[in-house]
Amino acid sequence: MINSIDLTIGTAILLIGMAYWTVSIVEHNNNYVDAVKTDYLFDKGISVMESMVKDGTLQDIVLLYYFNNTEYAKELVKQRIPFKKYKFEIDGNVLIDNLNNPNRTICVIAVLTLNRTEGWYVIYGNSSEIKISNKRFIDWLEAYNRYSSYEIDTPVYLSRNITSSEVKLYLSN
Amino acid sequence: MYFSQNAIILVMLMFVISAVFYSTIEYKTKSVEDSIEIKKISLTINNLKTTLNKNLDKAVENAFVKTSWKIMNGELDFFNTSKDAENYVESLIKKDINKSLSSVSDNNIVSFTIKDVSISPVNDKGNESPLYVKVKCSVTIWYSKKLKNGYIHAYEHIPIEKHVKLSRVPDCYLYRNPPTYNWSYEKIIYVKNFPNDEKNHTFYIILNTSNFNYNRMNNASNKNEIRIVKQEGNKQILLPYWISKWEPYGTSVIWIKASKNDLWNYNSNNETGIIKILYGSNKNVLISKENPKEVFRYFNNSIELNDREVTLDSVNQNEELLVYANFGEYGFSNGYPYLGIKCNGINYYIIWLSGEEYGQKSLKGIWHYTGYSLQNINTNDFTYVGNYTKNFYIYAISYINSSTSVGFTIFNENMTKKYNDSSTTNLNNLNLYDKKIVLNPQSGDLQVNWVAVKDVNNITTTLGDEYSNPKYTETIPIGKTIYYGEPGKYKFVENGNYSLIGLFTGAKDSWGSVGYKYVYLD
């Protein structure tokens, strides 16, 4: 009788202990695996952003975005980013968001020299009056043609207020 | 020993082993998380470096463009010295770099300072040197962050020295000091028989070696140098003119349009007044101000002839048609080459016609067109005027109204009358309308250089005395684009006053030893 009670208690202790241990070890292990996965994602994210900076794609995306060609910009992003769950932001403005309420995200930032005030502005007028356009243009020829009726029509590449465009890529496991 | 006691010991043992394992795995997790944080800091620093590297060029170009623009629009005056201009540009560069890096750095983790921004001229890039600027500055980046397994704290010093090539910087000096033409001599032109009305009239002057000294010109073979002006108080204002013939040291013909209000000292009693011709420019004038379309009521010098009749503008009452043409070798096969006026509706031609009729090689006349072919000629309407073919002549037909006769005149290119007559045909009952200019080579070799229509008048001109230093000046158009160093418009000079910074001082002070000078400034 005593032995059977002892056996029961011992078995219960073993079962509870093992269960608690199993849960605990899985949890700890998952934390570690998550951290490693995040590290991997971060590396991958940096690699993607670096290649987009190097081949000029990111610059094109920012330019397209600021010249109101958002759809083309989105298409370019989709073609180049090999992740399912990500969010793509340009200067805090969300361009694409496929994260769907993630628990854990990692953010990769790439900085470009472009900013929302950069482009071709046109110095136009005549010998007695000279102005500079408020509108900026993506292309020199487009800028030149817009003011071609003026005696002086000189497009200049300018940043009205020099800052940099910040592109953020949020990735999730 | 009871089994339960063994189980407790076993479980406790497992927990002890697990605790060691958990600490190890937690340490590893923190280590991975720290490595991510370090990568983030590294990324921020890389972003700062990229921004600095890429934005520096733009900051430099921006500073030059902005400075130039501010001088162009009067917001800034020209600087007194190159050092002042240099300091101003440097301050703009520093401000831009600062703003550009501030937007990148995370102030809690990464901070930076920019020191010693300086620009200096570059002289070792050959003819492109004036477009280069040497930029130096010193940027120090600090970063500090508490990690899960310790601290990271460091700084990085980035010395920068690079050559930045400027492109498309507007030339403020050129805009504020556009080059000008001025003239050394003016000569009086007396205009006689000028109608006392408010209309514009077209007339011509003739220059030749007896009334005009071609040696006074900067370049006698360049007719662009000539200007015809009216005097208005102290001002001299350009009048519309066109040089139909220019022969240095020979006879030249200049057509002018003016109203009596354009004539200085116009006397309504004897209908005389004065305009002036200018010559002897300060530099070789490359820009012509001739405007025949303004001088004549109608002018066309791009006429394409084919075998068919070409119809041009109308000729109205009190107008004279002038056609500078060559009938060639009266070479016709299908008919007679002709030019003149066609009155549509009732098919009347008032024409000069070339052809052989009863042995006569050149004809003129008013001819009633009755058929489809010019062979049906009533020869009574034609008068033989002589053989004015094979050379260019000005064939003129003056038409005042239907109750007056039509004038036929042939001039050579010097406006010497070779033939003058008027028709005897009475146009009174013909109800002429829609009088168009017609030209028809009829498979012959008629060539037409230009066609003009002017008012009929008896205005004559003579040249008077010459005076020095007329008031008239002309700003040389600088073109639509005014980029410093633009190919074709600028020449390389070994003069630092024409460097960009030198130009910011109004070309008063030098910066370096090379520059670009706008070609018309010489």
> What residue ranges define each of the domains in chain B, with the CATH number in brackets?
32-173 (no CATH), 180-295+460-475 (no CATH), 306-445 (2.60.120), 480-521 (no CATH)
ipTM of the complex: 0.77
CA nearest neighbour of B287 among B331, B238, B247 = B238
Give which of B393, B412, B396, B410 is closest to B328, Cα–Cα: B393
B259-292 pLDDT tens trace: 999 999 999 999 999 999 999 999 889 889 999 9
* Chain A residues closer than 8 Å to B51 by CB: 111, 113, 164
**B62 vs A148, A150, A162: nearest CB:** A162
The whole-number pLDDT of residue B103 equals 72
B110 chain-A contacts, CB cut-off 8 A: none
Q: Whole-angstrom Cα distance, residue B500 to residue B496?
A: 9
Top-confidence residue, B367 or B211: B211
CB contact under 8 A, A18 and B11: yes
pLDDT of residue B457: 95
Q: CB–CB of B43 and A150 under 8 A?
A: no
Interface list for A 123-142 with B (CB within 8 A): 123, 127, 130-132
* Residue B258 confidence (pLDDT): 97
Residue pointed to by tokens 């990324």: B43
Would A140 be classed as within a structural domain? no
A96 assigned to some structural domain? yes
Residue B362's pLDDT is what? 65
CA distance B143 to chain A (A): 17
| Tally of domains within chain A | 1
DSSP state letter for B148? T
Arithmetic mean of pLDDT, B130-147? 90
Is there a domain that residue A34 lies in? no
Identify residue B233 by its one-letter amino acid code: G
Beta pairing partners, B341: B350, B437
Q: Which of A44, A156, A165, A170 to mutate to test the interface with B (most CBs of B within 10 A)?
A: A156
The tens digit of pLDDT for each residue in B178-233 reads 889 999 999 999 999 999 999 999 999 999 999 999 999 999 999 999 999 999 99
Least confident stretch, A10-14, B21-25, B354-358: B354-358
Is some CB atom of chain B closer than 8 A to the CB atom of A91? no
If you measure CA to CA, which chain A residue comes closest to B63?
Answer: A158
Residue B78 corresponds to which tokens in the numbers above? Answer: 């020209």
pLDDT at B77 exceeding the cut of 60: yes
Q: Do B26 and A31 touch (CB under 8 A)?
A: yes
Interface test mutation site (partner A, options B1, B22, B148, max chain A beta carbons within 10 A) = B22
Cβ atoms of residues B231 and B274 within 8 Å:
yes
Mean pLDDT throughout B56-80? 94
At B426, the pLDDT band (50, 70, 90 cuts) reads low
Q: Averaged over B60-64, what is the pLDDT?
A: 94
CB of B187 closer than 8 Å to CB of B77: no
Alpha carbons B260 and B276: distance in angstroms, whole number = 14
For the cut 50, the answer to whether the pLDDT of residue B372 exceeds it is: no
Distance of residue A7 Cα from the nearest chain B Cα, in angstroms: 6
Predicted confidence (pLDDT) at residue B370 exceeds the cutoff of 50 = no
CB < 8 Å to B178, chain A: 127
CA angle in degrees (0–180, nearest 5) for B56-B62-B66: 150
Q: What CA–CA distance (Å, rounded) separates B400 from B54?
A: 75
Per-residue pLDDT, A68: 85
pLDDT-derived band of residue B5, with 50, 70 and 90 as boundaries? confident
Q: Say what the pLDDT of residue A140 is.
A: 93
B244: pLDDT strictly greater than 90: yes
Please give the average per-residue pLDDT across B93-100, as a whole number. Answer: 87
**Is residue B522 packed enough to be buried (19+ CB in 10 Å), middle (13-18) or exposed (0-12)?**
exposed
Q: How many CB pairs under 8 A join A and B?
A: 155
Q: Which of A148-162, B399-413, B452-466, B468-482 has the lowest mean pLDDT?
A: B399-413
Distance from CA of B480 to the nearest CA of A (A): 4
* CA distance to partner chain B, nearest, from residue A18 (Å): 7
The mean pLDDT of B351-371, rounded to a whole number, is 64
Assigned token pair, A79: 């073609």
Nearest CA in chain A to B67: A158
Q: pLDDT higher for B363 or B437?
A: B437
Q: Which band of pLDDT confidence, cut at 50, 70 and 90, is reported for residue B477?
A: confident
A31 falls within a domain: no
B125: pLDDT strictly greater than 60 = yes
Q: Looking at the complex, does the CB of residue A6 fall below 8 Å from at least one CB of chain B?
A: yes
Three-class SS state of B203:
strand
Contact B103 A166 (CB under 8 A): yes
User: Is residue A94 in a domain?
Assistant: yes
Residue A54 lies in a domain: yes
For residue A19, the distance in angstroms to the closest alpha carbon of chain B comes to 10
H-state helical runs in B264-419 = 292-295
Residues of A in contact with B99 (CB under 8 A): 161-163
| pLDDT computed for residue B107 by the predictor | 62
Model pLDDT for residues B324-349, shown as the tens digit of each residue: 999 887 655 566 788 888 876 556 77
Tokens, residue B114: 């920019």
The reported pLDDT for the residue numbered B183 is 96
Question: Tell me, what's the pLDDT at B373?
Answer: 43
Q: Cβ contact (<8 Å) for A113 and B170? A: no
Pairing of strands B392-399, B407-411: antiparallel
- Asked if A157's CB is within 8 angstroms of B61's CB, the reply is yes
Residue listed under structure tokens 């020993």: B1
* Nearest residue on chain B to A8, alpha-carbon basis: B4
Task: Provide CB contacts within 8 A for B505, sequence distance 6+.
Answer: B78, B79, B80, B81, B82, B84, B85, B497
Name the DSSP class of A92: T
Interface mutation target, options B68, B72, B92, B171, chain A, most CBs of A under 10 Å:
B72
**Residue A79: what residue type?**
Q
Which is higher by pLDDT, A73 or B431?
Answer: A73
By residue range, what is the domain housing residue A49? 42-115+164-172
Over residues B441-460, the pLDDT tens digits come to 877 778 999 999 999 999 99
Comparing B497 with A7, the larger pLDDT belongs to B497
Per the domain annotation, does A46 fall within a domain? yes
Q: Identify the DSSP state of B240.
A: -
**Which of A24, A111, A162 lies closest to B47 in CB terms?**
A111
From residue B265, alpha-carbon distances to B204, B272, B457 in Å are: 19, 8, 20
- Give Cα separations from A120 to A39, A116, A159, B55, B331 (angstroms): 41, 12, 9, 16, 60
Q: What is the mean pLDDT of residues B28-49?
A: 84
User: Is residue A141 in a domain?
Assistant: no
Q: Is B442 left (phi over 0), alpha (psi -120 to 50) or beta?
A: left
Phi and psi at residue A87, in whole multiples of 5°? -130, 135
Task: Identify which of B69, B108, B110 has the alpha carbon closest to the alpha carbon of residue B89.
Answer: B69
